[in-house]
Structure 1
């Protein structure tokens, strides 16, 4: 039926129905507008075209923002040795997930042996200082020994105690147990331990290389704390609040919308761009494929407002721009360009570029059939 009743190409004398401002239908011998599409009554019935007024509905107002995924400082850790040494083993590869406290690599340095030797020597000297202190204390109490020797013994005892404590702390810093050293377990290697749970990145050492002190040899990233660093223009700053919902997508990756929540709003502009930084945390981050540094397109939901809207299917793309169809007569529709906003619950916000006549009706359903007919007519003309 569509094939039989399809609209045909008209010349400059074709008569068309148009709708006047009072809603009546008038006939005109003027040339058909390029945006006009003719549909017979039978076509309208078959295509199930429905029309109605442009209505206002409660939709979420959104602020568009761009930015990238970032990690807070506590979500990233650099692993480096406190003392230089030869890398003897590496127990992980890039991409591994490791738990906090796992041994990642071992470093060998002969100086560690001397440190443990100093600890044992100081421990023995402390034992001697304790005995001498007790002896001098007894002599002083019985007024047999000189008071000066007692005070010297007391000082020596305190010095040895402080020295032993400092050496024990140093051993613990390197991950060496003083108790094991006291038991005769001397080692020349230390373990590099994971300070956080996360994924291994950027291993910059291999077995046999010399690891410089305080120079990272690998990175750990905990992506459970990924957040959004967004830039919002000055004109929208007054709409921002903590706790607002954020919907974002990855422009370079095919993915569904992901939710986040604003937890911080900047209080100053960044540089000369007149944008305010906004930070949002991803809720229940179980999404795979999210990496720090990825660019994102986001919408910050700032509450619901009444806005002109149409069903999603009523808005069509023509030459990559959104359009709607106005009923211009009993068998005629006019295509109008619009700007679109938020889409929610099956409805899309539309902003008219040109005002509509009074009592106008627009296509609510079947817009794609009308668009297809328009494009078919354009092909016929070519």
Structure 2
């Protein structure tokens, strides 16, 4: 025997620690399913901010946690190369004017049999080349946020505004003023938490208990007193790596304050209600991974109460009560300790240790 299964307590001891007697009751409890999960934001609601052209950061008017709107300027970078692109556009623009005149002149000479066909073809090719060069430079200027038609020799710009591609919260800043960035380096990351969802990891045997539309109550490890809600909108159809779990996708509803992409949570799904023998949570003690209640086995000659330790299998827990299935028959009329099981178990463990 690993330890004692019977112990005695005087009425004074029972009163001192608040042990109370009662009976196993029939209670209507809600069955629940517990599962771990992680909060996630869909990739379409996350954005890595990069510069389309390399340069040195000269302003960075954002901080982590700031909310930014799509199109809002979040950084300015400079590079003399920006001026060269504007020069390319202006040069192509002016050369096109000359090339168009030359093409018209060659066309007239050819029409009047006074010019060679190869001169006309050469003028046409030059005009096409310059038109392509101007279009490429114009497209680069548009990507830089510069209107090509507004570019003149008097207003060449060496700075480029980097704007937010989506609305959301700045979750990370990777650059600082003075740092050099290129197209492969991230300036910042933006996350739109309004579309936050919860991915629960549910074991295969529990999947039949779940369905779309069920409500999940979940808590964060670092804020155990606050409960949040989510609603199941999709149940996965494949196993996650080696865990033999399936992802159950839920939309977070209601309060989202304090919730961040990547947080680990514990979720509880309410299933059905059923009537079962139940005892207050304080009537159950845990030892070595098993659960026990303590049945009153009458009084001794000196008035002490004798308690017998009986193993039980726990069922649903709800409203302070837990459903139990004792591994041996217990009469509904038998008295049990409905409060203070932890103390009785500790006393019994002491007795067991002294017996060895």
Q: TM-score by structure 1 length?
A: 0.70
- Distance across 1 between alignment mates of 2:119 and 2:277: 96
CA distance in 1, matches of 2:140, 2:346: 82
* 1:262 CA displacement: 2.7
Q: Match of 2:274?
A: 306
1:249 to 2:219 alignment: yes
> Partners of 2:316 and 2:25 in 1: how far apart?
19
- Distance in structure 2 (CA, Å) of the matches to 1:353 and 1:141: 109
Q: Check if 1:234 corresponds to 2:207.
A: no
Alignment deviations for residues 78-131 of structure 1 (CA, whole Å, 9 cap, x no partner): 222222222212212233222222212211100110100111111223334444
| Unmatched 5+ stretches in structure 1 | 1-31
The equivalent of 2:45 in structure 1 is 75
In structure 2, what is the equivalent of residue 7 of structure 1? none
SS in structure 1 opposite 2:136? helix
Residue of structure 2 equivalent to 1:26: none
1:113 aligns with 2:86: no
Rate the CA distance shift 1:341–1:141 in 2: closer, same or farther, 3 A.
Answer: farther
- Matched with 2:240 is 270
Residue 62 in 1 paired to residue 32 in 2?
yes
Q: Kindly state the Cα deviation for residue 160 of structure 1 after the two structures are TM-superposed.
A: 3.4
Q: Which residue of 2 aligns with 1:291?
A: 260
Q: Which runs of 5+ in 2 are unaligned?
A: 300-304
SS in 2 for 1:74: helix
CA distance in 2, matches of 1:348, 1:115: 74
Number of residue pairs the alignment of both structures matches: 338
| CA displacement at 1:184 relative to structure 2 | 4.1
Please name the residue that 2:325 is paired with. Answer: 352
Alignment of 1:179-218 (within 5 A): 179-182=149-152, 184-218=154-188
SS where residue 237 of structure 2 aligns? coil
Most deviating of 127-136 and 166-175? 127-136
Please show how residues 1-382 of structure 1 align to structure 2 within 5 Å. 34=6, 51=23, 53-55=25-27, 57=28, 59=30, 61-133=31-103, 153-182=123-152, 184-288=154-258, 290-301=259-270, 303-306=271-274, 308=276, 310=278, 313=280, 315-316=282-283, 318=285, 336-344=310-318, 346=319, 348-360=321-333, 367-368=338-339
Contact 2:7 2:306 in 1 (8 A): no
Q: Deviations over 1:190-236 (max 9, x none)?
A: 11212222332443332222223321132223333333333222322
| CA distance, structure 2, for counterparts of residue 148 and residue 295 of structure 1 | 73
Is the 2:281–2:322 Cα contact (8 Å) retained in structure 1?
no
Contact 1:201–1:219, Cα closer than 8 Å, also in 2? yes
Question: What is the CA-CA distance between 1:53 and the residue it aligns to?
Answer: 3.8
C-alpha separation in 2, matches of 1:233 and 1:129: 73
Please list the CA deviations of residues 284-308 of structure 1 after superposition, one character each: whole Å capped at 9, or x if unmatched.
Answer: 35322x233332222234x315252
**Structure 1 Cα separation of the partners of residues 250 and 118 of structure 2:** 68
CA distance in 2, matches of 1:362, 1:281: 46
After superposition, the Cα gap between the structure-2 partners of 1:156 and 1:319, relative to the gap in structure 1 and judged at 3 Å, is: same
More strand by percentage: 2
CA distance in 2, matches of 1:350, 1:66: 23
Contact kept in structure 2, 1:198 and 1:223, CA below 8 Å: yes
C-alpha separation between the residues in 1 aligned to 2:315 and 2:25? 18
Q: Secondary structure in 2 aligned to 1:127?
A: helix
Is the 1:338–1:350 Cα contact (8 Å) retained in structure 2?
no
2:160 match: secondary structure? strand
Assess if the C-alpha contact under 8 Å between 2:25 and 2:277 holds in 1. Answer: no
C-alpha RMSD of matched pairs (Å):
4.2
CA contact (8 A) 1:38 1:333 kept: no
Tell me the residue number matched to 2:302: none
